[in-house]
Amino acid sequence: MATILRPGAAWQRLGIKRSIFYTNYVARPGGSEFVPNTAVRRLRPVPLGKVAAGFIDDEIDAVINGLRAERDTRFAEGRQRTGYNRAGGRFAKTPTKVAAAVGP
pLDDT at 58: 95
**Neighbour tally for 97: CB within 10 Å:** 15
24/44 Cα distance (integer angstroms): 12
Instruction: Enumerate residue ranges in the chain where pLDDT < 50.
Output: none
pLDDT at 2: 85
pLDDT at 18: 95
91 three-state secondary structure: strand
Q: Is the pTM of this model over 0.95?
A: no
pLDDT at 1: 75
- Helix (H) or strand (E) holding 3, with range, is none
34 three-state secondary structure: strand
pLDDT at 84: 55
Radius of gyration of the chain (CA): 17
pLDDT at 42: 96
54/47 Cα distance (integer angstroms): 7
**Neighbour tally for 93: CB within 10 Å:** 10
